[in-house]
Copies of this chain bind each other. A is one copy, B any other.
């Protein structure tokens, strides 16, 4: 017996994915606003931290951001003195966090943790251990 939904979309996992994702994104962006960051900024900072010296193109591949769109993105973070570019060879730029970037990331990570906790708190306790496995499975190249 499933409850009858108000709309014919609530039984579609794709629709639920989209709505849950956009709601979560909006929530996270709201929490990050005081820090002057957006969710993508934090993803980038976290990636650079865990892979110091990652290349601009590499980062784009991991985060699924087009090379062309990375330019303005990286430039913005650099202009705020959150990251720094170091020439690796004639064409590649290694990305690193600045001290200010590390400090801001520290605060951002707390915000992300709060956000994660808020997300998981919506899920009944018995389903909570399934959240990461389910989402990980759903995310697989298409």
Q: A residues near B, CB below 8 A?
A: 6-28, 39, 43, 46-47, 49-51, 62, 64, 112, 115-116, 118-120, 122-124, 127, 130-142
Contacts and interface: CB of A to CB of B under 8 A. Distances in A.
Q: Is the interface of A mostly helix, strand, loop or mixed?
A: helix
A18 to B, nearest CB: 5
11 contacts: A7-B51, A11-B132, A14-B112, A16-B132, A17-B20, A17-B21, A20-B138, A21-B21, A21-B22, A123-B137, A127-B130
Nearest to A139: B20
Contacts of A118: 142
Chain copies in the assembly?
2
Contacts of A11: 132
